[in-house]
């Protein structure tokens, strides 16, 4: 039975329904709204979403439009501090990063998207656990991404952080205090375990932690990392299962 999605568009309505440390009400409305109801066609008429989608397509993104829509709803309406920043791990051509940066710009937010990637393709992967191989996604076009960010006036909103996560993240951890959303889209086991175990203890405000990959048939290593570290390690239950696995940390009260 369809429920009204109106509370999703009202930041003061959050949490919509709390259970077990996550906003299960918001998770249901975003997930069912996108999968079964008419939430996506509604968003297509929203000029901020449409412009950000244009940026994602201009750079190229592997994300399904429902995933971009889900990020939009969390960034625009759900983040506890609307001026919070965003950490993205796995940016490739920068599509999802410039998408979120365009939202921050259009809304006049103070936050920034830190887009972490080698921008030279996948590092070592686990030959059994992961399907991806070293060098996948090597055609990121890093220089073109920098030019695009400059030309579109996105430099105050999107900062690429080039290199392996375990080499770049330690220097950026002081910036994590105001992070409202972490988008993990790097597909493979080891880095995802590292990112969960390194970032979670630094979070303090019910940050959205959004996993792109675990429910893909090609990313069982990503699912392993989430099961081991998020579910068994930090004892969390998911806020949402479509189109992303979304968790909140620390748990909401
Ligand atoms: C699926 S792509 C990201 C897609 C992107 N979010 C989009 O909008 O299309 C995964 C990316 O993760 C990056 N990656 C995986 N492991 C990494 C690591 N340990 N350090 C840095 N980048 C990594 C790869 O270089 C690749 O570009």
For 115-136, what is each residue's pLDDT tens digit? 999 999 999 999 999 999 999 9
What pLDDT was estimated at residue 93? 98
Give the whole-angstrom CA distance, residue 217 versus residue 33: 23
Atom of ligand 1 nearest to the CA of 61: 9
Please tell me if the CB atom of residue 96 comes closer than 6 angstroms to any atom of ligand 1. Answer: yes
pLDDT at residue 150 in the model: 98
Q: Find the radius of gyration of the CA atoms of the chain.
A: 17
User: What pLDDT does residue 1 have?
Assistant: 55
- In Å, how far from its chain's centre is CA 194? 16
pLDDT at 175: 87
In short, whether 195's Cβ falls inside 6 Å of ligand 1 is: no
Predicted local distance difference test score (pLDDT) of residue 139: 98
Percent of the chain with pLDDT over 70: 99
Locate 102 and state its tokens: 């365009």
CA dihedral 100, 105, 106, 109 (to 10 degrees): 100
Cβ–ligand 1 distance for 122 under 6 Å, the answer yes
Residue 7 CA to ligand 1 center (angstroms) comes to: 33
Work out the pLDDT band at 2, boundaries 50, 70, 90: low
Residues 197-232 have pLDDT tens digits of: 999 999 998 999 999 999 999 999 999 999 999 999
| pLDDT confidence of residue 33 | 98
Is the CB–ligand 1 distance for residue 63 below 6 Å?
yes
CA of 34 to the centre of ligand 1 (A): 25
Residue of minimum CA distance from atom 11 in ligand 1: 90
Ligand 1 mean position, distance from CA 92 (Å): 5
* 36 CB-near residues (< 8 Å, 6+ apart): 2
Distance 38 CA to ligand 1 centre (A): 31
Average pLDDT, the chain: 97
Task: For the chain, give the longest Cα–Cα distance.
Answer: 48
86 three-class SS:
strand
pTM: 0.98
Q: Which residues neighbour 166 within 8 Å (Cβ) at sequence distance 6 or greater?
A: 191, 194
Give distance in angstroms: CA of 245 to centre of ligand 1.
17
Q: Which two tokens stand for residue 149?
A: 């960010």
171-189 confidence digits (pLDDT tens): 999 989 899 999 999 999 9
Residue 28 CA to ligand 1 centre (angstroms): 28
CATH superfamily of 6-249: Vaccinia Virus protein VP39 (3.40.50.150)
């Amino acid at each position: 039975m369809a429920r009204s999605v109106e509370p999703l568009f009202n930041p003061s309505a959050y949490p919509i329904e709390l259970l077990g440390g996550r906003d299960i009400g918001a998770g249901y409305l975003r997930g069912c709204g996108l999968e079964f109801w008419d939430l996506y066609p509604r968003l297509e008429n929203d000029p901020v979403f449409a412009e950000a989608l244009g940026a994602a397509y201009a750079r190229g993104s592997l994300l399904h439009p429902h995933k971009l829509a889900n990020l939009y709803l969390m960034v625009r309406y759900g983040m506890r501090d609307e001026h919070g920043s965003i950490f993205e791990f796995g940016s490739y051509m920068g599509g999802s990063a410039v998408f979120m940066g365009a939202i921050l710009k259009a809304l006049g937010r103070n936050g920034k998207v830190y887009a972490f990637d080698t921008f030279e393709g996948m590092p070592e992967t686990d030959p059994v656990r992961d399907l991806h191989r070293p060098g996948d996604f090597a055609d990121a076009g890093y220089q073109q991404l920098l030019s695009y960010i400059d030309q579109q006036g996105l430099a105050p909103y999107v900062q690429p952080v080039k290199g392996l996560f375990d080499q770049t993240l330690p220097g950026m951890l002081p910036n994590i205090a105001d992070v409202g959303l972490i988008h993990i889209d790097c597909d493979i086991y080891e880095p995802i375990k590292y990112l969960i175990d390194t970032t979670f203890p630094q979070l303090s405000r019910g940050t959205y932690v959004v996993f792109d990959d675990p429910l893909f048939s090609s990313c069982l290593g990503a699912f392993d990392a989430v099961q081991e570290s998020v579910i068994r390690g930090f004892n969390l239950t998911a806020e949402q299962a479509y189109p992303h696995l979304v968790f909140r940390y620390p748990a909401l009260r």
